């Protein structure tokens, strides 16, 4: 069953303290070649029938994203490649 | 400049109260054909040089995901399609 994935990220001009904290922690792990980290949300919506992009856009706009500070993008993915689980 | 995107989602067997809350709010928006909503994190890592998948995997494993309750997947995306900003 295909799913609709909504990716919500802070707009580029909005500071992301959470991402900044991760970026600042990286040198302690010995990682020095990362220039920026941004953290957002990924929402997977499963529809009972056919996935409905317009519906998903409406949900994202009204419930999932704050359009003042966040951008979102919507994609349909096959359930099979939604999460190649990682050991 | 390509970026590495880490998608962190709760394992399927772990309850997701935040996603559940969104799913429960949908009928009030008139949306009745959604069967499940799961909310996770999307992290965009920008490298100073060439994106390094192994490095990204190490970062995800040590800093970004809790392997007990979360799965993560790693992909490289072109910066151009990272965020088709949405009106």
* Per-domain residue ranges of chain B: 3-81
Best B5, B22, B44, B77 residue to mutate vs chain A (most A CBs within 10 Å): B44
Please answer yes or no on whether A83 and B9 come within 8 Å at the CB atom.
yes
- A2, A13, A31, best to mutate vs chain B, most B CBs in 10 Å: A31
A52 contacts in B (CB within 8 Å)? 33
Is 70 exceeded by the pLDDT of residue B81? Answer: no
pLDDT digits over A62-85, tens only? 999 999 999 999 999 886 654 444
CATH for B3-81, among 3.30.1280.10, 3.20.20.100, 3.20.20.300, 3.30.750.210? 3.30.1280.10
Identify the CA nearest to B34 among candidates A29, A1, A24.
Answer: A1
* Residue A86, C-beta contacts closer than 8 angstroms, at least 6 positions apart: B57, B71, B72, B73, B74
Residue predicted with more confidence, A79 or B2: B2
The ipTM (two decimal places) reads 0.85
- pLDDT of A86 > 50? The answer is no
A80 and chain B in contact, CB less than 8 A? no
Mean pLDDT of chain B: 89
Q: Are strands A70-77 and B70-77 parallel, antiparallel or unpaired?
A: unpaired
Contact B19, B36 (CB under 8 A): yes
Chain A's closest residue to B67, CA to CA, is A87
Q: B79 to chain A nearest CA, in Å?
A: 12
Here the tokens at position B49 are 């040089």
pLDDT in tens, A41-59: 999 999 998 888 988 999 9
């Amino acid at each position: 069953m295909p799913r609709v994935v909504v990716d919500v990220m802070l707009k580029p001009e909005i500071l992301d303290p959470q991402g900044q904290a991760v970026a600042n922690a990286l040198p302690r792990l010995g990682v020095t070649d990362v220039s920026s980290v941004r953290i957002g949300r990924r929402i997977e919506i499963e529809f009972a029938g056919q996935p409905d992009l317009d519906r998903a856009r409406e949900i994202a706009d009204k419930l999932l994203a704050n359009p003042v500070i966040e951008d979102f993008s919507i994609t349909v993915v096959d359930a099979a490649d939604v999460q190649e689980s990682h050991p």
